[in-house]
Chains A and B, each alone.
Chain A
Amino acid sequence: MTANGWFQIGLYLFVIALVTKPMGVFMKRAFNREKTFLDPILRPIEKLVYRLTGVDERREMRWTEYAIAMLLFSGVSMALLYIIERTQRWLPFNPQKFANVEPALAFGTAASFTTNTNWQAYSGESTMSYLTQMAGLAYHNFASAAVGIVLAIVVIRGIARKETDKLGNFWVDTTRCLLWVLLPVCLIGSLVLVSQGVVQNLKPYTTAELIQPYAAQVTGADAKGSAQTVTQQVIAQGPVASQEVIKEFGTNGGGFFNANSAHPFENPTPFSNFFEMVLIFAIPSGLTYTLGRMTGSQRHGWAVWAAMAFLFLAGVTTAYWAEAKGNPLLAGTDQHAGALQSGGNMEGKEVRFGIANSALFTTVTTDASCGAVNSTHDSYTPLGGMVPLINIMLGEVVFGGVGAGLYGIFVFVVLAVFIAGLMVGRTPEYLGKKIESYDVKMAMLAVLILTFTILTFSAISVVKPYGTSSISNPGPHGLSQILYAYVSSTGNNGSAFGGLIPNTMWYNTTTAVAQLLGRFFMIIPVLAIAGSLAKKKTVPKSAGTFPVTGGLFAGLLVSTIVIVGALTFFPALSLGPILEHLLMNAGKAF
């Protein structure tokens, strides 16, 4: 670990703290339909969208209609993505003449991008046409991000409003999210990325003539190896920057290329890397401020932010420490950090990012439900790789996915307030709303569905041949690979222990089911709580009210998150990464 590494990590958190207020205030204004400086340009476009789609912008919805509209939109847009994938051969913008995507893979991918997961069982550069990437995958990066954000706004409205069953209009919220929140940053951000070297074109792949041809072992169709002289390099191209920016800003994480943000065309420089990491946390962090603003308790917003920042620092410290220490099994290598190298466990990491920026990116992308990667998590040291795993297991509430992080932490806030209420023997209250049995039941339902999905699918996969045959790293690491697949799918993260072979019938289907369960069976109970809270009266604050501001509350919130996560997953973690760590230090390989 180096001073410069820590400086970069500290600077990152500082920048996130700086963008929190402006992002939060702007989102509050956008969703409250207050005036913003972008209105002269965006308001006419907004009106045009409503006219074309038949939306009545003054009509508000109850939580049930809001949920139905959200499900219908997700369903229809998922179907369109499936159709585009299945017909890309006959559609324009396909210079590499890629075939139509196979049905199981097309379904899995459609589910994955609709749920903001972006789990990828394919390599973008050899599977998807430019049209599929733009109008199918990148479009869903916008759509699923907007859906997540508006749900968080509905939850905030549920807390802030009283004695009403109206929570807003799904179509209006989504349109305003797309136009006001996502589009402006993406327009500027994609050009920033292009300036760094992220490609943006519609050209066929470029063929370069190598200055030094070399011999390579090629496995032919008959599975026999033969020596071949490689004289050319085919360089994949595409409209990458326009997708890259929303991939991070919408915490989607689906790479244009297989290597995702490790690929030099997605993330060419340390500056682009820093910029991408800021994009990932910008909205989730801003939403904590929006929460404070809209509920009239800014100090509550900051208390939630502080709890998140604490868990973030715990994660990044562990990952950085473990990766900088390196891999004791690689004999004869120099893994010390120095002026001439970053050292550490460099398998799966890029030289330009080194250890600090890889560990930081990995923590950020799994704290948020982003899933973009700038290094391969599968090749992390056991404890370094456990950090992303735990981050997702905690429910991705450390800033979290856009919107999803806020409604995820809301569930834990409800639980924390409930536990505090039990301790002092009073009906728990949250910002003036009584938390009653219906609310707590729904909160527990949201927590249990995640746990149930992850553990059930993982348990089946580790005992059945169709599950274990996809393992690429034997020993305890194999368990981590399977566990990571379902944790990432259910948590809608989308990053992977990439050695696991995911493009099989079993994994395509079950990860898709896990993604859909993890997304929608989380959202519906949360919406139900929002609907129930909005109907309630506000009770005046009294001496017995548990404060949801300050260090005591932040501490209780952190403990609730850690205890729920630890109780659920500790047995699995001790058999996977923890066991592997002990064996690695004992010099054992598999």
Chain B
Amino acid sequence: MKRNLLIALWFTLVTTVMFGVVYPLAITGLAQVLFPSQANGQLIKQNGKIVGSRIVGQSFTEPGYFHSRPSSAGTGYDPTSSSGSNLGPTNKLLIERVRSDVQKLQAENPHVPIPVDLVTASGSGLDPDISPAAAEFQIPRVAHSRGMKEDEVRIVVRKHTKDRDLEFLGEPRVHVLELNLELDALHPLR
């Protein structure tokens, strides 16, 4: 018992140093050398300022931008408090939230059913993507507010649509932040 207790103490210390300090620091060093962009969050810089991460979503509310999905992370897309809504399927709060979003969207693009991902919050609250259906739904609004032709916008959307990984893994998706940045570059809002 006493012998094993002593071993337990030393064993905890030795393995903590090995697996809790040396291992993560070694991986950090390797990652910084081999994949510097990915290891630091794929930050996007514009005019010397960081404007976001390529893989973390942001809130867009103005009509000239493609909108992201609803978010439950903090006040919306806050990476310091990532979270889903955790609302259950029969919770009135969920049903009311979706109903009110559906009404707003129907006003801007009547007679088209709303792609479900556009009115549901993601699990992380940081989803960088919308489905191609959700992008298609928003094209008339964005084109109109930017004074662009719908087909011009559609070309940019296509460019930022990613197919399934290796053609079969996951789902096709449209990257909202990159898409909006490119629209700004092509056809500035103001």
Residues of A within 8 A of B (CB): 4, 7-8, 11, 49, 52-55, 65, 68-69, 72-73, 75-77, 80, 123, 125-126, 134-136, 138-139, 142-143, 171, 174, 178, 183, 186-187, 190-191, 194-203, 205-212, 214-218, 228, 230, 233-237, 239, 241-243, 257-259, 262-265, 268-271, 273-274, 326-327, 329-335, 338-354, 357, 373-376, 378-382, 472-477, 480-481, 497-499, 580, 583-584, 588-590
B145 interfacial by beta-carbon distance below 8 Å = no
Contacts A208-B50, A274-B169, A341-B131 hold; do A380 and B89 have CB atoms under 8 A apart? yes
Q: Give B97-149 interface residues, CB cut-off 8 Å to A.
A: 98-99, 102-103, 106, 113-117, 119-134, 136
Given contacts A211-B46, A242-B28, A590-B91, could you give 5 more A-B pairs where the C-beta distance is less than 8 Å? A200-B31, A235-B53, A264-B124, A268-B55, A349-B120
Partner of B79, one of A233, A331, A589: A233
CA distance A65 to B121 in the complex (A): 51
A72: chain B residues within 8 A (beta carbon) = 4-5, 8
With contacts A327-B89, A333-B119, A341-B132 taken as known, whether A236 is within 8 angstroms of B9 at the C-beta atoms is: no
Q: Which of A183, A326, A344 touches B23 (beta carbons < 8 Å)?
A: A183
A-B contact pairs, 13 of them (CB 8 A): A194-B27, A194-B38, A199-B39, A202-B28, A230-B59, A242-B23, A270-B164, A354-B170, A375-B84, A378-B88, A473-B88, A498-B84, A590-B90
Taking CB atoms, residues of chain B closer than 8 Å to A348 are 84-86, 120-123
Return chain B residues, CB-CB under 8 Å to A333: 98, 102, 113-116, 119-120
Q: Type the 1/0 row for B150-190, where 1 means its CB is closer than 8 Å to any CB of A.
A: 00000000000000111011111100000011001000000
The residue of chain B having its C-beta at the shortest distance from the C-beta of A234 within the complex is B80
CB-based contact B87/A473 at 8 Å: yes
Distance in Å: Cβ of A265 to nearest Cβ of chain B: 7
Q: Given the complex, which residues of B lie within 8 Å of A123, measured CB to CB?
A: 81-83
User: How far apart are the CA atoms of A201 and B31 in the complex, in Å?
Assistant: 8
Task: Assess the B81–A379 pair: CB atoms within 8 A.
Answer: no
A353 to B, closest residue via Cβ: B170
In the assembled complex, how far is the CB of residue B15 from the closest CB belonging to chain A, in whole angstroms?
Answer: 7
Chain B residues within 8 Å of chain A by Cβ, number = 110
Q: Which of B18, B43, B90, B127 contacts A477 (CB 8 A)?
A: B90
| Residues of chain A contacted by B7 (CB below 8 angstroms) | 53-55, 69, 171
Hey, which chain B residues are within 8 Å of A207, CB to CB? 50
Q: Is the CB of A332 within 8 A of B83?
A: no
B122 touches A262 (CB 8 A): yes
Q: Which residues of B contact A199 (CB under 8 A)?
A: 38-41
Known contacts being A271-B169, A354-B170, is A330 close to B119, with CB within 8 Å? Answer: yes
Query: Which of A271, A332, A341: most chain B CB closer than 10 A?
Result: A341
CB <8 Å contact, B50 and A257: no
Q: Considering the chains assembled together, what is the distance between the CA atoms of A327 and B122 in angstroms?
A: 15
A259 touching B124, Cβ below 8 Å: yes
Q: Which residue of A lies closest to B19 (CB)?
A: A142
Q: Within 8 Å CB of B85, what residues of A?
A: 347-348, 376, 379
B109 to chain A, nearest CB (A): 12
Q: B residues within 8 A CB of A327? A: 89
List chain A residues, Cβ under 8 A from B116: 326, 330, 333-335, 341, 343-346
Q: Cβ of A274: which chain B residues have Cβ within 8 Å of it?
A: 169
CB of B88 within 8 A of CB of A135, answer: no
Tell whether, in the assembled complex, residue B86 and residue A259 are in contact, meaning their CB atoms are under 8 Å apart: no
* Contacting residue for B35 out of A135, A174, A194, A344, CB 8 A: A194
In the complex, which of the residues A126, A236, A351, A499 contacts B88, with contact meaning CB atoms closer than 8 Å?
A499
Instruction: List the A side residues contacting B61 at CB < 8 Å.
Output: 212, 214-215
Q: Is the CB of B39 within 8 A of A7?
A: no
Q: A73-B12, A329-B90, A347-B94 are contacts. A265–B184 as well, Cβ < 8 Å? A: no
Q: Judging by beta carbons under 8 Å apart, are B43 and A208 in contact?
A: yes
Residues of A close to B41: CB separation below 8 A: 199, 201, 206, 235, 237, 265
Docked complex: B6-46 residues within 8 A CB-CB of A: 6-16, 18-21, 23-24, 27-28, 30-32, 34-35, 38-43, 46
Could you tell me if B181 and A211 are in contact, using CB atoms closer than 8 angstroms? Answer: yes
- List, in ascending order, chain B residues with CB within 8 A of A142's CB: 15, 19
Contact A49:B170 (CB < 8 A) given known A68-B1, A233-B79: no
Determine if A332 and B102 form an interchain contact, defined as CB atoms under 8 angstroms apart: yes
B126 partner, pick from A77, A259, A341, A342, beta carbons under 8 A:
A259
Q: Specify which of A73, A195, A215, A332 is in contact with B8 (CB 8 Å cutoff).
A: A73
By a CB distance below 8 angstroms, the chain B residues around A11 are 168
In the complex, are the beta carbons of B180 and A211 less than 8 A apart?
yes
Say yes or no: A194 contacts B31, CB within 8 Å.
yes
The CA-CA distance from A54 to B40 in the complex, in Å, is: 41
What is the chain B residue whose CB lies nearest that of A496? Answer: B86
A340 contacts B6, CB within 8 Å?
Answer: no
Q: In the complex, which of the residues B52, B65, B120 contacts A233, with contact meaning CB atoms closer than 8 Å?
A: B52
A135 contacts B34, C-beta separation under 8 Å: no
B14, B24, B73, B89 interface centre (most CB from chain A within 10 Å): B89
Give the contacting residue for A126; candidates B81, B94, B136, B165; CB below 8 A.
Answer: B81
- The answer for the CA separation of A588 and B115 in the assembled complex, in Å, is 23
Q: Is there an interface contact between A200 and B28, defined as CB atoms closer than 8 Å?
A: yes
Among A237, A346, A481, chain B packs the most CB atoms within 10 A around the CB of A346
Q: Which of A265, A378, A584 is in CB contact (< 8 Å) with B56?
A: A265
Cβ A264 vs Cβ B51 within 8 A = no
Cβ contacts under 8 Å, B18 to chain A: 49, 178
A401–B11 CA distance with the chains assembled, in angstroms: 24
CB atoms of A125 and B80 under 8 A apart: yes
| A211 and B51 contacting across the interface, CB-CB below 8 Å | yes
Q: Chain B residues with Cβ under 8 A from A497's Cβ? A: 86, 88
Per the bound structure, the CA–CA distance linking A342 and B123 in Å amounts to: 16
- Residues from chain B with Cβ under 8 Å of A343 in the complex: 116
Q: How far is the CB of A502 from chain B (nearest CB, A)?
A: 11
Among residues of B, the one whose C-beta sits closest to the C-beta of A54 is B7
Q: Is the CB of A475 within 8 A of B90?
A: yes
Tell whether, in the assembled complex, residue A352 and residue B75 are in contact, meaning their CB atoms are under 8 Å apart.
no
Known contacts A76-B12, A125-B82, A473-B88; decide if A352 and B50 are in contact (CB<8 Å). no
